[in-house]
Amino acid sequence: MKRLAPLFLAVSLAALSACGQQPAKDEAASTAPEAKPGLTLSEGTLVLPAVKGNPAAGYFTLINTGDKAVTLAAVSVTGAARAEMHETTGESMAPLATLEIKPGETVKFERGGKHVMAFELDPALTAGGTTELTLTFADGDKLSAPLKLEAPGGGMEHMEGMDHSEHSN
């Protein structure tokens, strides 16, 4: 007579524990253009503050030569910790969250009107030099162009009476 001992097979569950993680997609490797087609960015100027620690004011001209409206959503300035779009109307100034530029439209950021405020400047930014302005659009595209660094002077009347501290957030 034979006795059959039952066999118990241990099933390892270890293999299942590795199933919870998905490999991260490499989004940064996508090919977003740094020069958004259909747009021309020129006359970039950054007027440095008369008083150290104050923000600089940036100006530029943006032309939409394409056939679609674009929405400017953010600005950044190389050498500034952060930058904002502002619009001066009469005596008051307000942050500008987004700006639509229609096909064929030219938008000027200029003294007394729309301007870029650049905060916490790198001391390496000095008059006569250049830095870079980057515009980010609502669709994620970016457009960069040089910014000429100018000494304070021509922009003084614009800066007077403008308290930007309330925009620090």
Which residue matches tokens 């009469």?
A: 90
Of 104-123, binders to Cu ion (CB under 5 A) are 117
CB closer to Cu ion out of 65 and 98: 98
Of 69-88, binders to Cu ion (CB under 5 A) are 86
Site residue total, Cu ion (CB under 5 A): 2
Distances (CA, A) of 45 to 23, 27, 61, 114, 115: 44, 33, 10, 13, 10
Nearest residue to Cu ion, by Cβ distance, number only: 86
Run of H or E residues at 134: strand 130-137
CB closer to Cu ion out of 32 and 94: 94
CB closer to Cu ion out of 39 and 125: 125
Task: Provide the minimum distance between the beta carbon of 167 and Cu ion in the complex, in angstroms, as a whole number.
Answer: 7
Task: Provide the minimum distance between the beta carbon of 93 and Cu ion in the complex, in angstroms, as a whole number.
Answer: 5
Which among 24, 27, 110, 100 is positioned nearest to 64, based on CA atoms? 100
Cα Rg, the chain, nearest whole Å: 27
| CB atoms closer than 10 angstroms to residue 30 | 8
Task: Provide the minimum distance between the beta carbon of 86 and Cu ion in the complex, in angstroms, as a whole number.
Answer: 3
Helix (H, G, I), strand (E, B) or coil at 146: strand
Task: Provide the minimum distance between the beta carbon of 159 and Cu ion in the complex, in angstroms, as a whole number.
Answer: 8
Interface with Cu ion by CB under 5 A: which residues? 86, 117
